[in-house]
Amino acid sequence: MTHVHDTKNSNSIHYSLDLEALKQFAEKSIQEIERPNRYPFRDRYLHTLRVLSWARRIQALEGGDLETIEVAAICHDIGWDEHINHAIISRQLAKPYLLAHHYDETKLEKTLQAIEMHNNRSADKAQFNIESLIVMDADILDEVGALSVTWDIISASYEPTVSYRSILEKIKEYHGYIANRREYLQTETGLRFYNERIGVIERFIADYQYELG
């Protein structure tokens, strides 16, 4: 049994699941699906680990059951189908694993909801538990900020022509896109983190433009 420290509640949490084994299951599941990926440098499992990190940061300030949040974050992208929302497929794959490994039955439905709803930006959030809202926010926080700038720079190298100016325009275009997605953040902490990441991009753009002259 794994023991961790909850930074918000200062209590020892007794986990009903081996998170390292769950990560291995998630990595294997992601490797086996044929999810389209435009850029080879974007690894879906590494995205999962970053979402897990964001989820832990938010939970430390917002509360909620940490194990539920961690399990949902690890499983949120394990499925894929061209015709069905991948979040639904991920829930379907996660449920038998969790049942087979004796996951705490009192947490099961909350965890499955957090997996299934992690990318449902249009649903009525009033019906959701805090765990679902935190996983939603953690997912949208990945690749916003320094990582999104890096993504734009690397992806520009795949274009037929590339220049300092074309890279700047790509960064500015993506900044405009994500700056208009603040309404999707569901927790106060998630929104604060998101605004901080937007600020990183804006400072980079200002420095970039200054250096270009």
**Per-residue pLDDT tens for 203-213?**
999 999 999 98
User: Rounded to 5 degrees, what are φ and ψ at 108?
Assistant: -60, -50
Secondary structure (3-state) at 145? coil
Residues 79 and 112 reside in one and the same domain: yes
Query: For residue 125, what pLDDT band results from cuts at 50, 70 and 90?
Result: confident
Q: What pLDDT, on the 0 to 100 scale, is given for residue 123?
A: 66
Give domain status of residue 166, yes or no. yes
Domain span at residue 165 reads: 146-212
Give domain status of residue 167, yes or no. yes
Give domain status of residue 131, yes or no. no
Residues 32 and 97 reside in one and the same domain: yes
Give the mean pLDDT of 3-10.
40
Q: Is the pTM here over 0.85, yes or no?
A: yes
Give the residue carrying structure tokens 């004796």.
102
Query: Does residue 3 carry a pLDDT above 70?
Result: no
Give domain status of residue 151, yes or no. yes
Residues 91 and 175 reside in one and the same domain: no
Residues 99 and 169 reside in one and the same domain: no
Query: Does residue 91 carry a pLDDT above 60?
Result: yes
Query: For residue 1, what pLDDT band results from cuts at 50, 70 and 90?
Result: very low
Orientation of helix 188-212 relative to helix 130-141, angle to 10°: 10
Give domain status of residue 130, yes or no. no
Residues 38 and 117 reside in one and the same domain: yes
- Token pair of 119 as six digits: 């990318």
Do 55 and 70 contact (CB within 8 A), yes or no?
Answer: yes
Residue 48 exposed, middle or buried by CB count within 10 Å (0-12, 13-18, 19+): buried
Q: What pLDDT, on the 0 to 100 scale, is given for residue 54?
A: 98
Residues 111 and 154 reside in one and the same domain: no
**Residue 37, domain CATH:** 1.10.472.50
